[in-house]
Amino acid sequence: MLIKSAGLDHESRPLSAPGRKLTSKELEVEPELLGDWEATSFRAMAARANFLASDRPDTAFAVKELCRGMSAPTTRDAEALKRLSRYLLGRPRLIIHFGWQDAPKVLDVFSDSDWAGCVRTRKSTSGGALMRGRHVLRTWCGTQATIALSSAEAELIAAVRGAAEGLAACSLSEDLGQPCGLRVHVDSSAAIGICKRTGVGKVRHLDTRLLWIQELVRDGRILVLKVAGTENPADLMTKHLGADDISAHLVRLECWARDGRAAKAPKLAALRVECTGEVWGSAPKSVTAEGLTPRRGVGT
């Protein structure tokens, strides 16, 4: 639906990345707000992309940036949505592979941040991936609520978010009769140092609500480890990357890109929209739903 709503087809040119970082000159130009109909269409498509991103770590950051413009979408947001659609045109399907493996005794969380990555607000982005052996269970991407004053603080906030996600998964695993440990992988030596000491040290502006991780590290409930930045799959959820970096991180997450549509995927009802002018330019004259098969109720 995203591809069709953007006016693309199989003859359109696909893109190798779902988004790109704007230049300083582009940010100096104030974009125009979309009209009422265009804004409604944008919100509908952005919401669908947000639902899709839960299983598409390669689009998580681009979709997160799109959704930040939901309240007052602009022409720049519409262009970003079309770029995302062009990326999905070239990579329409992503398989999260759950291959056979021995039952792991530990869960691994990879966390990362892009310090002050937003040029407009100077806020950072937290990204992470929760893995059980080679199986990726969950990925996330979110803008940090506060402005971090250093890269170490931004990385610590991301690590604390990852530790919280990991502890929740450990609790669920224990309820299922499979207790396990937790390892948090961070690519910042400064953030690791904060996690392993007691108190704020010289970083006195740190929010004390972040320091609970220190107690769990001392008690041995969490093991914080260093991972190389180039090998950290959480980097995929923190910034716009090139095609090669995207593919490399997807391999680390055991995600495979495929063409076409899964044979067992449910079929949607056909939706015929008669529209005049540009896709973003006018409301449709009529919308007709053509159901393929009647929907069955529970117990029928």
Same domain for 25 and 168: no
**Residue 32 covered by a domain:** yes
**Residue 24 covered by a domain:** yes
Is the distance from CB of 120 to CB of 91 less than 8 angstroms?
no
Same domain for 217 and 71: no
**Residue 294 covered by a domain:** no
Same domain for 274 and 185: no
**Residue 251 covered by a domain:** yes
Same domain for 248 and 114: yes
**Residue 228 covered by a domain:** yes
pLDDT at 32: 95
pLDDT at 299: 46
Which residue in 233, 226, 229, 262 sits closest to 247, CA to CA?
233
Which residue in 127, 151, 93, 123 sits closest to 240, CA to CA?
127
Same domain for 278 and 238: no
**Residue 152 covered by a domain:** yes
Same domain for 277 and 245: no
Q: What percent of the chain has pLDDT over 70?
A: 89
Is the distance from CB of 258 to CB of 95 less than 8 angstroms?
yes
How many Cα atoms occupy the beta-carbon half-sphere of 25 within 13 Å?
A: 0
**Residue 296 covered by a domain:** no
pLDDT at 272: 56
Is the distance from CB of 80 to CB of 66 less than 8 angstroms?
yes
Same domain for 26 and 60: yes
Same domain for 183 and 49: no
Tell me: the pLDDT tens digits for 237-287?
A: 999 999 999 999 999 999 998 887 777 777 766 555 555 555 555 555 555
Q: Global pTM?
A: 0.84
Q: Which amino acid is at 257?
A: A
Which range marks the domain in which residue 6 is found?
2-91+259-289
User: Could you tell me the two tokens for 252?
Assistant: 């680390």
Q: Which residues in 250-271 are b (16+ Cβ under 10 Å) and which e? A: bebbbbeeeeeeeeeeeeeeee
Q: Which residues of the chain have pLDDT under 50?
A: 294, 297-300
Same domain for 199 and 77: no
Q: Is 204 exposed, middle or buried (0-12, 13-18, 19+ CB in 10 A)?
A: exposed
Same domain for 211 and 110: yes
Count the domains in the chain.
Answer: 2
CATH number of the CATH domain containing 246: 3.30.420.10
**Residue 297 covered by a domain:** no
Same domain for 162 and 86: no
Same domain for 104 and 18: no
Q: Which residues touch 23 (CB under 8 Å, ≥6 apart)? A: none
Which residue in 42, 41, 66 sits closest to 53, CA to CA?
66
